[in-house]
């Protein structure tokens, strides 16, 4: 009778885990579906990347060495993501969902890679499936996984690079495949130079120190060579855009707040990983060194969340490493520990999913509030698409691309450059004062903090003096040149 009760209890606990995993994964697909259907910009950064993709499709440069002339645009990242979106745009057109589709497919690739890494490491199919599903249930992944941003493609490349190194650790061809994937990750987002390469080097070093050294040298030389070629071909523009313009002000308070929130949202999982590290301290021969190195690298990369303008995407590698270690932990617990303790881990995973989905509402529900503004978008599109002259925008830059217009000015990027003394804003301010731009679109979120956020005080004052609001649509105020001139 006792054995039967234990069996029923364990079956119930597994059922709870699979149900909560289904809830998490289901929310991921529901959110992704909503994002792909949204006919409205979901993030400030989508517009510039969509603009870059269209320019690449038209054979136009995105890393212009001269940032003191129109168009005042910055390509913050290496070219692989806009190239991927450019290829999709050639066939599907450049619309709101073009970049999001690339990101959504990359997110699926991330989950699959995590599953295969856990399976290759542990041989446990159940643990690998749980690790993949757990990754999809993370709120930061749910939110960022369907935005038209570079991060999920970079993460996918990096995880497949780790998988290739683990799958063929003693094969020169496997090492080469890993190298190519990691190079693709780095030239999708430059911050991916740390965590995944560190994991691969550590993994190779545990079996063959020479191969690890060769890999590290090959990766470093390749990065320098490709980066040098891009700088040469763009007359230094690649360096200016991806390095100089990316060096935003660092604020420790942003690091503390981001990690405090992350610690709260992912507290149950952090407890599990901490417990595993206690086990590794007692039995060092069982340490999954590559996964530990990946966690360390992901944590160090996550510290750059302190840059002004950063968001939860800076913690995606850390989350992937946590999901990876969780899968490895489950495999060990299923293999080595009593079923009662294993059941405790399963309940912790279930609680983590429900807990994080609850606390993650502040990032995951953004698309729903944006979609509520969609009924007003056709009218706003008509106004912008038919404007007889240049248009400025902040959050609605994607709308300019959809209308077939060029983005002439990225306010946040150049505001940061102006604040840091790297760019002279005089020309733009004078053009605003002269009414060069027929319309200026300022979305409410940026309106309240215009002077210290996406527009410099001088730009904001010029807009207020020489433009007047004519309508408000989709939470965006449309400013037109004052009929009577300056006031």
pLDDT tens sequence across 158-167: 999 999 999 9
What pLDDT is stored for residue 2 in this prediction?
A: 63
**Measured distance CA(193)–CA(386) in Å, rounded:** 44
Q: Kindly report the pTM of this predicted structure.
A: 0.94
What pLDDT is stored for residue 1 in this prediction?
A: 64
What pLDDT is stored for residue 311 in this prediction?
A: 87
Mean pLDDT of 217-237: 96
What pLDDT is stored for residue 170 in this prediction?
A: 84
What pLDDT is stored for residue 171 in this prediction?
A: 86
Q: Which of 105-119, 204-218, 238-252 has the highest mean pLDDT?
A: 105-119
What pLDDT is stored for residue 451 in this prediction?
A: 42
Q: Are strands 467-473 and 476-481 parallel, antiparallel or unpaired?
A: antiparallel
448 falls in which pLDDT band (50, 70, 90)?
very low
What pLDDT is stored for residue 485 in this prediction?
A: 55
Q: Is the pLDDT of residue 450 over 80?
A: no
What pLDDT is stored for residue 136 in this prediction?
A: 96
Mean pLDDT of 432-459: 79
Higher-pLDDT residue of 336, 72: 72
Percent of the chain with pLDDT over 70: 96
What pLDDT is stored for residue 368 in this prediction?
A: 83
Q: Is the pLDDT of residue 315 over 60?
A: yes
Burial annotation 383-412 (CB, 10 A radius, 16+ → b, else e): bbeebeebbbbbbbbbbbbbeebbbbbbbb
Q: Is the pLDDT of residue 120 over 70?
A: yes
Grouping H, G, I as helix, E, B as strand and the rest as coil, residue 364 is helix
pLDDT averaged over every residue in the chain: 91
Give the residue from 129, 124, 108 showing the smallest Cα distance to 288.
124
Cβ-proximal residues to 91 (8 Å cutoff; 6+ apart), any chain:
none
Q: How far is CA 483 from the centre of its chain?
A: 43
Mean pLDDT of 74-97: 94
From the CA atom positions of the chain, what is the Rg in Å? Answer: 24
């Amino acid at each position: 009778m006792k054995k039967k009760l234990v069996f029923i209890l364990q079956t119930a606990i597994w059922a709870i885990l699979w149900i909560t995993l289904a809830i998490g994964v289901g929310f991921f697909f529901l959110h992704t579906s909503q994002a792909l259907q949204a006919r409205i910009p979901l993030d400030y950064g989508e517009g510039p990347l969509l603009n870059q993709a269209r320019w690449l499709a038209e054979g136009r440069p995105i890393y212009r060495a001269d940032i003191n002339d129109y168009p005042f645009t910055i390509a913050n990242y290496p070219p692989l993501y806009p190239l991927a979106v450019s290829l999709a745009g050639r066939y599907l057109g450049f619309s709101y969902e073009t970049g999001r589709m690339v990101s959504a497919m990359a997110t699926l690739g991330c989950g699959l890679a995590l599953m295969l890494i856990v399976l290759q490491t542990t041989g446990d199919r159940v643990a690998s499936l749980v690790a993949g599903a757990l990754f999809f249930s993370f709120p930061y992944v749910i939110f960022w996984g369907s935005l038209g941003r570079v991060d999920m493609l970079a993460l996918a490349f990096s995880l497949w690079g780790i998988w290739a190194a683990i799958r063929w650790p003693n094969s020169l061809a496997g090492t080469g495949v890993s190298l190519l994937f990691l190079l693709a990750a780095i030239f999708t987002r430059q911050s991916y130079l740390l965590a995944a390469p560190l994991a691969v080097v550590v993994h190779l070093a545990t079996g063959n120190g020479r191969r690890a050294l060769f890999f590290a040298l090959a990766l470093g030389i390749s990065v320098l060579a490709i980066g040098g070629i891009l700088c040469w071909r763009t007359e230094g523009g690649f360096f200016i855009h991806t390095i100089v313009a990316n060096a935003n002000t660092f604020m420790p308070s942003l690091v503390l707040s981001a990690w405090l929130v992350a610690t709260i949202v992912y507290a149950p999982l952090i407890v599990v990983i901490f417990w595993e590290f206690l086990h590794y301290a007692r039995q060092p021969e069982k340490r999954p060194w590559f996964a530990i190195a990946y966690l360390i690298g992901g944590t160090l990369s996550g510290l750059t969340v302190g840059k002004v303008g950063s968001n939860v995407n800076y913690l995606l590698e850390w989350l992937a490493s946590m999901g990876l270690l969780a899968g490895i932990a489950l495999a060990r617990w299923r293999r080595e520990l009593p079923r009662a303790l294993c059941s405790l881990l399963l309940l912790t995973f279930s609680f983590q999913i429900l807990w994080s989905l609850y606390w993650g509402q502040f990032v995951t529900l953004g698309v729903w509030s944006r979609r509520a503004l969609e009924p007003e978008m056709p009218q706003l599109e008509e106004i912008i698409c038919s404007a007889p002259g240049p248009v400025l925008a902040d959050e609605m830059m994607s709308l300019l691309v959809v209308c077939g217009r060029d983005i002439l000015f990225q306010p946040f990027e150049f505001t940061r450059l102006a604040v840091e003394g790297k760019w002279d804003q005089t020309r733009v301010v004078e053009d605003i004062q002269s009414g060069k731009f027929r319309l200026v679109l300022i979305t409410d979120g940026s309106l309240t903090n215009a002077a210290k956020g996406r527009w410099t005080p001088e730009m904001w004052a010029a807009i207020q003096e020489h433009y007047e609001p004519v309508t408000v649509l989709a939470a965006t105020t449309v400013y037109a040149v004052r009929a009577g001139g300056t006031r």
